[in-house]
Amino acid sequence: MCLVGKVVSLGLLTIDDVDTLTRWINQEEMREYLSTYLPMYASQEKEWIEKLPSRMPNDFVFGIIDNETKTLLGNIGLHRVKQKDGLAHAGIFIGDRQNRKKGVATEAGQLLLKYAFDTLNLRKVIHEAFAHNEASIALGKKLGAKQEGVMKSHLFINGRYVDVVIMSYFRPGCEPKD
């Protein structure tokens, strides 16, 4: 396990996770909340996992693991890391509905931000959410994100163009003075 919290930990994904991840990513609701839209084969998911080591330090992906049952609950990651600017984009999903609204994403997000700021020495993490994704926006607020703006009519999702809200987390002490 890489990053250990009270209820969940962030660990590395393995080939054993392929079937679970393939099931989750092909769920219809993922196309409502994430920008992924192509059907995903297990073979592609396997290849994606196998390539994760070579994508660091530009992308870091962790499995969110239940400390008690050791089961995979979802994924969280830092993407498009720019060391020069101290910047990254965060992404998260909790795969099964019954594991949501229990504080899992909050603790996973806290662990991810701590890793971003205290280990990778990043300064700012961006959290983008579709404007209709109340859960993602609530999660951002809970984790201390501030809204920076809205990209209007930005992405074509399930038959309509949706707004995308941009929120950000600054490392404590690095907040802009405005």
Query: Who's near 84: CB < 8 A, 6+ residues apart?
Result: none
CB of 129 within 8 A of CB of 137? Answer: yes
Contact pick of 139, 145, 164, 167 for ligand COA (by CB under 6 A): 139
Within 28-47, which residues bind ligand COA (CB under 6 A)?
Answer: 33-34
57 lies in the site for ligand COA, by CB under 6 A? no
Distances (CA, A) of 80 to 9, 46, 90, 124, 125: 23, 21, 9, 12, 10
C-alpha closest to that of 35 among 114, 101, 108, 89: 89
Give the H or E element holding residue 42: helix 42-55
Of 15, 42, 135, 151, the one binding ligand COA (CB under 6 A) is 135
Nearer to ligand COA, 22 or 136 (CB): 136
* Residue 140: CB minimum distance to ligand COA, A: 8
| Residues 96-125, mask of contacts with ligand COA (x by CB under 6 A) | ----xxxxxxx-------------------
The site map against ligand COA for 141-160 (x = CB under 6 A) is -x------------------
Tokens representing residue 108 in the block: 């996973």
Q: Which listed range, 14-22, 135-143, 160-168, 169-177, lies at the site for ligand COA (CB under 6 A)?
A: 135-143
- Greatest alpha-carbon pair distance for the chain in Å reads 48
Between residues 104 and 122, which has the closer beta carbon with respect to ligand COA? 104
